[in-house]
């Protein structure tokens, strides 16, 4: 995930922490200062935050181990202010399996809370408990607060909204009665409605709720798009969507000729050839940058992007979607048994999905 600090690897899983945790630390420091907390109390707070980091990691590790039971590997775990993200190689499409994987994280928090409760002597009455907690964070209240946070993490993550676990639980339950991509869309819309309530609540109470709401809105939309893309590309190969007609430039042509081609058509990406052999690609941004820096008489061969991503025509579309998304501004060369047959980019696959979606709604 972009903007993340790598902490290392555990059992082959990359562990990182997102930069937005700095916002959480700043918020805690500001809150302590505003409330007149001393250094000792601030130290206990930082210790609790460190403990929460570790608990979030264990939460995500629970997802990873449950997924491994279904032969699904986890590439990385990213810690975020409102939880964490375990990047699985794939999400179980069987609703029962997805329920197990989704519940595994909150189950870890519940188990930790239960174990912590065994070592805590609770006050006799709820009034005494409230009075104790009002003293602030200290040696006497640390583990009580730790237990409460684990319960809160379990409950919060079961809110029926992507990207929280509850969104996947809701999707799995809906998938028992409808196609998975439609179940995802329904779950995403429910989550986004709840996110809007979070945003409105944030304006009147805690501003951090606004951040949570926006995070849910974007996460839900991303999940819906990813699932729709996976559903409509399933069973199709790269050769089914390869583009056989595309704009080309010879590497001996100049930037001026590339600009003319750019202005006279709708293409924004061009395959660069040495006679009939592909040698690279160039896009609109590269042409404009070269015009500014090198001049219009510069040969295309001097600025061409020669590190070309290559695809095999027999590769399933659903397997290369993420690769296309990460390099969406680049043309991918497509070969069939070693023979060049055309190009492919993210926009073409996205258009293919839109057509399949429209045809399915007829």
Rounded to an integer, what distance in angstroms lies between the CA atom of residue 70 and that of residue 203?
A: 43
Give the pLDDT band (50/70/90) at residue 289.
confident
Closest Cα partner for 180 from 242, 268, 96, 71?
96
Beta carbons within 10 angstroms of residue 302's beta carbon: 11
Domain spans in the chain, listed from the N-terminal domain onward: 4-233, 238-360
What confidence tens digit (pLDDT) does each residue in 186-202 have? 888 888 888 888 888 88
What is the CB neighbour count within 10 angstroms for residue 250? 14
Say if residues 341 and 239 touch (Cβ distance below 8 Å).
yes
Q: What pLDDT, on the 0 to 100 scale, is given for residue 107?
A: 93
CA–CA dist 151, 250 (Å, integer): 63
Top CATH class of 238-360 equals: alpha beta
Q: Whole-angstrom Cα distance, residue 361 to residue 150?
A: 44
Nearest to 47 by CA among 133, 140, 146: 146
8 Å CB contact between 295 and 259: no
In this prediction, residue 113 has a pLDDT band, given cuts at 50, 70 and 90, of very high
Beta-bridge partner residues of 4? 18
* Amino acid 181: pLDDT: 81
Quote the CA–CA distance of 335 and 313 in Å, as a whole number: 6
Angle at the Cα of 151 from the Cα atoms of 148 and 157, rounded to 5 degrees: 135
């Amino acid at each position: 995930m972009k903007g993340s600090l790598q902490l290392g690897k555990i059992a082959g899983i990359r562990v990182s922490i997102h930069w937005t945790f700095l916002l959480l630390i700043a918020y805690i420091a500001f809150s302590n200062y505003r409330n007149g907390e001393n250094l000792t109390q601030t130290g206990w707070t930082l210790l609790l935050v460190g403990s929460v980091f570790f608990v979030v990691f264990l939460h995500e590790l629970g997802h990873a181990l449950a997924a491994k039971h279904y032969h699904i590997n986890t590439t990385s775990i990213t810690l975020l202010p409102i939880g964490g993200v375990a990047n699985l190689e794939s999400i179980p499409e069987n609703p029962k399996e997805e329920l197990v994987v989704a519940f595994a994280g909150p189950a870890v928090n519940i188990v930790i809370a239960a174990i912590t409760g065994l070592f805590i002597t609770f006050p006799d009455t709820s009034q005494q408990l409230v009075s104790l907690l009002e003293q602030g964070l200290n040696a006497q209240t640390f583990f009580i607060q730790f237990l409460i946070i684990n319960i809160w993490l379990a409950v919060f993550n079961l809110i029926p909204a992507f990207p929280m676990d509850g969104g996947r639980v809701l999707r799995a339950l809906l998938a028992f009665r409808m196609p998975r991509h439609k179940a995802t869309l329904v779950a995403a819309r429910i989550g986004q409605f709840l996110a809007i309530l979070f945003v409105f609540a944030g304006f009147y109470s805690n501003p951090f709720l606004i951040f949570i709401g926006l995070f849910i809105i974007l996460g839900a939309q991303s999940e819906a798009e990813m699932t729709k893309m996976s559903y409509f590309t399933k069973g199709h190969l790269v050769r089914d969507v390869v583009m056989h007609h595309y704009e080309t430039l010879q590497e001996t042509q100049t930037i001026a000729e590339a600009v003319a081609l750019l202005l006279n058509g709708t293409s924004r990406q061009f395959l660069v050839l040495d006679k009939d052999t592909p040698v690279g690609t160039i896009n609109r941004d590269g042409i404009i940058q070269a015009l500014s820096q090198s001049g219009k008489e510069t040969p295309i061969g001097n600025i061409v992007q020669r590190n070309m991503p290559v695809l095999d025509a027999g590769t399933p579309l659903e397997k290369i979607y993420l690769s296309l998304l990460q390099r969406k501004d680049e043309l991918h060369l497509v070969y069939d048994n070693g023979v060049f047959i055309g190009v492919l980019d993210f926009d073409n696959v996205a258009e293919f999905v839109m057509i399949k979606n429209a045809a399915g709604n007829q």
